[in-house]
Amino acid sequence: MLKIIVGSGEEISRLIAEQFILQIQKKPDSVLGLATGTSPLGVYRNLIEANKKKVVSFSKVTTFNLDEYIGLEGTHNQSYRYFMNVNLFDHIDIDKKNTFVLKGVGDYLAYANNYDNLIEEHGGIDLQILGIGSNGHIAFNEPDTPFDSLTHIADLNESTIKDNSRLFSSIKEVPTKAVTMGLKSIMNARKIVLIAMGKSKAEAVKNLIKGKISKRVPSSILRNHPDVTIYVDQDAYSLVNK
Ligand code: GLP
């Protein structure tokens, strides 16, 4: 059963940040699953503020990120490692050694093949945050990804390349492949929160909440998880009752 919370972007970002803070207060050495994209930025801003005010410490926390583009070094300004450093890790008291992001270059395949083991060795993910793609993807699990997939290499759909090209200088610069946690890897998390904002996500949110549970809508697998909360703004929620 999905829980659904509708609020302004600011409200839902604050509410999700509170979930993370409660999780870390309850278990200081929590393992967090983190996401990139525009959607979680407000959550990360709230976490940075809470850390500055000493409401929460990340000194014992471990993090695992969902995905990374193949072909981008961690220093590339569109790599997800860079995104995480700039938007969260550089501003909180986390030990960077405890922040795991999939590799996009070098031995990325071997690293990917061991990623689920690495998560398990750290005790599994306590709380996972997800965004959602306009086609219903989560992480880089595009439509038709098997529900039992673990971390793997993925070809990006044209619509995803187009959506993400807004962040690159041209569409030609957008990598066409990525390495991503699989749907099963994500479902292994003990608790999941998903954030979606804006009209461009309305169709995906409707399919996630009301459509068939099907490989065509990767995020629909979340309906099989015992502890998922979907946080949406009015625009993202706008098609659910239509
Ligand atoms: C990318 C990421 C996803 C993210 C999605 C939506 O494809 N791999 O993890 O959820 O974009 O991003 P945004 O939040 O910027 O709309």
pLDDT > 70 fraction of the chain, expressed in percent and rounded: 100
Residue of minimum CA distance from atom 2 in ligand 1: 139
Please name which of 114, 98, 18, 113 lies closest in space to residue 64, comparing C-alpha atoms. 98
Establish whether residue 37 lines the binding site of ligand 1, counting it when its CB lies within 6 angstroms of any ligand atom. yes
| CB neighbour list of residue 239: distance below 8 Å, 6 or more residues apart | 202, 203, 205, 206
Question: pLDDT of 68-85, one tens digit each?
Answer: 999 999 999 999 999 999
Q: Give pLDDT tens digits for 97-153.
A: 999 999 999 999 999 999 999 999 999 999 999 999 999 999 999 999 999 999 999
Cα 223 to chain centroid distance, Å, stands at: 17
Q: Note whether 121 and 114 are within 8 A (CB).
A: no
pTM tops 0.85, yes or no: yes
- Centre of ligand 1 to C-alpha 30, Å, is 24
Q: Decide whether any atom of ligand 1 lies within 6 Å of the 39 Cβ.
A: yes
Residue with CA at minimum distance from ligand 1 atom 3: 139
Q: Please give the structure tokens belonging to residue 201.
A: 């996500």
* 123 dihedral zone (left: phi>0; alpha: psi -120 to 50; beta): left
Q: Which residues carry out catalysis?
A: 67, 135, 137, 142
pLDDT of res. 240: 96
**Does residue 38 have its Cβ closer than 6 Å to ligand 1?**
yes
Assess whether the C-beta atom of 66 lies below 6 angstroms from ligand 1.
Answer: yes
Q: Which atom of ligand 1 is nearest to the CA of 201?
A: 16
Angle between helices 41-52 and 9-26 (to 10 degrees): 50
Side-by-side strand order, sheet with 67-69: 67-69, 177-180, 152-155
Nearest atom, ligand 1, residue 140 CA = 8
Confidence (pLDDT) at 1: 79
